[in-house]
Every structure is written in structure tokens, then in C-alpha cells.
Structure 1
Amino acid sequence: MRLANLQYTARPIEAETLSVILPLLAEACAEGADLVALPECATIMAKDRNTLMEEAGNEATSRGLSTLREAAAKHQRWLLIGSLLLNADNGDGQMVNRSLLISPDGAIHARYDKIHMFDAELGDGQHYRESDHYIPGTTAMLAHTPLATIGMTICYDLRFPGLYRTLAEAGAQILAVPSAFTRVTGAAHWQTLLRARAIENSCFVMAPAQTGTHDGGRQTWGHSLIINPWGEILADGGEAEGISMADINLADLPKARHRIPSITGGRAFTLSETETD
């Protein structure tokens, strides 16, 4: 099976971003990709919230979603839209950060709303408070496809290993982690966290990422990765816009899980504490 991560710099205007995505998608499909993945905030990254909401729409009206569904059907490929920022239509001006898996006929096969909100002050001059504007998801998603069983997650979820263990124990073969990691966190933690999720869960990891400098000056790390269950990096997208691809064999999964059976070897335990002097 051939996996392809698309890496690029999302623009504040959706049509401009789609003009970057569609040629990359066509190229990846022409090169034999079976599953193509886009990063978090796949079609829009805008500093101005009003611009973002006007461009986004909701799931029923999103121009980006309809365009990408048509593209998946045209190329007859599985397409993971890492996430779309969509209006929640709850009257409070909130949004959802939703990953969508599109089947080769253009249908929405699975949806996942990002559970963990990125609220952080990183010392890079920018503050992040996703919980102010986004409704967190409450349900993990395991997507069964003819290609593989895919555990769907988004970006900051990566720092919560319990989610990935739940997906792996339920049968995930590929853990999808579409992201828009900042340069600060990416340089420090990105590769380490992704390799850890692959190793501890004996799963393939597919992590398409935003890269470059976005509207308002936000910088993302790039380095889209594909990692095997042994923690080996099969593809690294570097920092440029483009495609990174790797061929994987799902037969490697039981081999890795037999060598180190961490999925089945866990044991229940209790916690004991000393008393304070």
C-alpha cells in the first residue's frame, strides 16, 4: 500500500489553498498513492476570525469539502482531509475542527472532531486558545476501510497517548495525525512524539503537516512523516511544499507486535503513596 502526505502552506483564502492542493493530489495519485492525506486546517489558515468563518462555511456548504470530495472521486482514491475548520451553527460563533475520510466514490466515510484543544503560550510571541473558539469532540474514531483500519486524530491529540492506545487496542493499523505544529513545538517534540506513538502501539503513523509562514506570521514546522511500527521513519517531507510517499506492508504489524507485545502485555495495577512528613 502506498501512502502520500501532502505538505503546503494553507492560505487565508480557501480557493488559493485549493489551487495548491489539487495539483499535488493529482501528482500523488498519478504516482500510485492509495491513501492521500492532507494536514490539519487543510484549506484555510487565517488570523482574522471573521475571514475564517466567512471562508469556512459548515459541512453542508463548505466549498473546500465539496471540491475535495469531487477530487477524490475523480482520482478514485481514499483521501484523508486532515481537518476542516467548519462553523458549528450553534449561534455562539463557535467552530469545529473536523477530520474527514473520503472514499474513492467521493462519499464521507468517517468524521472525527478534534478532542484536545491547543491552549498554550510558547514564548514565540503567539498565544493559542483553541478552546475559546472551537467545540471539542467527545468520540474517538476508528475507520474501517478496504485498505486498512485507520485511527483518526488531529495535531494536539498527539500529546495524549491514551487516545492512541485506545485506537490501537480497538484494531487501528494506521494512526493518522494531521497537524499544524508550530516551529517551536515541532523542532522540540514532533518527531519524538510521533515515533513514540508508533513504537508503543506497534502501528504505522501517517502525519501530514502544514509548513511555512502563514497569514499573521504564524510559522509551522513541516516535516510530514510516515513511520513504521518499529519507529523507523519511512518518509520525511522536510520544510518545502510537496509530497512525501512511502510503501507500507500491513504484514509488518503482527511481526512487530510479536517481537514486543506491548499491546497485549499490559497489566492492571494500583497506586500507593507515602504520607507527607
Structure 2
Amino acid sequence: MNHVAAIQMTSGPDVEANLERAAELIADATTAGAGLVLLPECFAALGAKALASVAAAEYDGRGPIRRFLAEQARLHGIWLLGGSIPLPRQADGKARASCLVVDPAGEEVARYDKLHLFDVEVADGHRSYRESKDYQHGDQPVCVDTPVGRVGLSICYDVRFPELYQQLCRDGAGLIVVPSAFTRVTGAAHWEVLLRARAIENQCYVLAANQSGQHPGGRETFGHSCLIDPWGEIVDLLAEGEGIVCGAIDPQHIQNIRERMPVARHRRFAVADQVVPAAKES
């Protein structure tokens, strides 16, 4: 039960087609022995124009994406981490990019709303990214206890903010997940170095599930989903295309590294106990 897997997809705007492909890859991951499976950011809908309607359908838990997560977790008897889906906090509210954690009984046991929104200019075919047009910021870090240990949740652009990862490790995380739709341009420059840095500086495992390939609207994602150990070594990696990466989480390995090099005790600049909530958005 200490094996984990990250799924790499090339999602488009068709929710049904994306879920069908995700189901195939989840089955591959469980066949490989994974007891915890991570889907990428926007696994069910990437480039969908009707984002608000997708989010509204999921609010009360009866939408197709949340139902899919529950069914797949029960079917395979796994912990399933739903990358990100658009999900409002209120029925008439603005969507948040939310990672849902579903246990083997199909119950949602945790929800993390993406704290940092990707509002940037990128030298690619899509050019301007403005997540704040469609999403509202989350307001708190989230960890959840699982059979592979305590898991810290993050999403994509979060990986550029090391203070969040320090907080997750202060909260006991030994594994941090990073479901992503990292662009090809920024991924080629920064993806691996950021993920390895977060693993090394926090002495924890990092499991990253990325989108890969061409998407509607000129968007292209980098792939290179991976599992990285607390020493910064890459345990498994899938460069391009759809598929899975997998490996074991070894709590003793985490403990040994932290005992030999007690970085947390040596830290002289403490991170805040709580992330400052973002300003309320209209």
C-alpha cells in the first residue's frame, strides 16, 4: 500500500472523453500496484469554454466528475487524488481550482483550493494566462492522512512558492503532490528544478502529475510527470505522452535523511503558521 502513481494525460474540452481515458490510466496504475493515485490538473476539462457550467454541475456532489472519482476509488480500492476540478464553495459562487481526496470507500475526505493563480505572460501559442478570470484563490494549506503517510496538497503554480511547502512539512507531510498543467515553455525552463528543490529543501517525496502535449487554444504542456525522493533523486519519470509513473514511499528514508541533515531544526527564518487569505474577489 506504500506505492503511489501519477497519471499523465492530454486532456481536452470533452469531459466524457477525458474521464474515459482517465479510467484506463487509473486501471494501469492500480495494476502496477499503486494504492494512491494522482490525476493531473484539469484532468476532466482543459480548454472547456463552458467552465462555469462544469463547475456548477459539480457543486452538490452529483456531477459527473465527482461521481467518477468516487466510483473509481471504490472500484479499485485506492486513494484517488483528483488533480483539480472547477468547484465553487457556494452554489452561485466563483469556481475554485480544487483538488479532492477520495478514500477507497468513495468518500471525499479532503479538499484543497489552489492558493496561487497563474496570471502570467508566456512565449507560447496561448501567450496570456489569466486564471483569476475564471477562478477564485483558495485560502489555506491542506494535509491529509493516508496509508502512505501524511500528504500535503498543492496545484501547479503553487510550486513556485516555497513557503507553502515549508508549511505543509511543518504540518507533517512526508509526501507532497503537485497535479499540474505546466506549459511546455515554462516546464522546459523550470519544472524539474522546482520539483527537485521542493523535495530537497523539505526532505520529502514529491509526486507530480502533469498534462502533456497539444491542447485547444494553442496551449502546449510539458509532461515529465515524476516521483522524486527526499534526496532529490528522480525515482520515475514519463517525459511525453499519456501514461503513468509509479514508485514506493519509504518513511524510513525520509527519517534517515532528516536525522542526518536536520534542516528543519536549523531553519532560522520560520514560515507563518497560516497563509494570509487572498483579498475577497467580486
**Normalising to structure 1: TM-score of the pair?**
0.92
Residue 55 of structure 1 corresponds to which residue in structure 2?
A: 54
Give RMSD over aligned pairs: 1.5
1:35-184 to 2 correspondences below 5 Å: 35-48=36-49, 51-56=50-55, 57-60=57-60, 61-87=62-88, 89=90, 91=92, 94-125=94-125, 126-184=127-185
**Which residue of the partner structure matches residue 279 of structure 2?**
none
Corresponding residue for 2:277? none
Per the TM alignment, residue 89 of structure 1 is displaced from its structure 2 partner at its CA by 4.8
Range with greater deviation from structure 2 (33-42 or 193-202): 33-42
Identity among equivalent pairs (%):
43
- Runs (5+) with no aligned partner, structure 2: 271-282
Shift of 1:53: 2.6
Per-residue CA deviations over 1:126-173 (Å, capped at 9, x if unaligned) read 201111221100010011123210000100010000000011112100
Q: Deviations over 1:151-208 (max 9, x none)?
A: 0010001000000001111210001111100001000000000000000000000001
Q: Is the 8 A contact 1:120 1:127 kept in 2?
A: yes
Report the residue type matching 2:102 in the other structure: I
State the TM-score, normalizing by the size of structure 2.
0.90
Query: Which secondary structure does the structure 2 equivalent of 1:138 belong to?
Result: coil
SS for the counterpart of 2:188 is: helix
Which residue pairs with 2:202 in the alignment?
201
Aligned residue-pair number = 266
Structure 1 unmatched ranges of 5 or more: 270-277
Structure 1 residues 47, 71: closer, same or farther in 2, change over 3 A? Answer: closer
> 1:268, CA displacement in angstroms?
4.5
Q: Give deviations 1:233-261, integer Å, cap 9, x for gaps.
A: 00111111011111231110111112221
Matched residues in 1 for 2:26 and 2:265: separation? 38
User: What is the rounded CA distance, in whole Å, between the counterparts of 2:63 and 2:240 in structure 1?
Assistant: 29
Aligned residue for 2:54, secondary structure, equals helix
1: distance between equivalents of 2:74 and 2:59?
Answer: 18
Tell me which moved more, 54-63 or 159-168: 54-63
Q: Do the aligned partners of 2:58 and 2:64 also contact (CA within 8 Å) in 1?
A: no
Q: Secondary structure at the match of 1:263?
A: helix
- Residue by residue over 1:22-75, the C-alpha shift from the partner in whole angstroms, topping out at 9 and shown as x without a partner, is 011112112211111001112100252xx2233342332421110121110111
CA contact (8 A) 2:12 2:48 kept: no
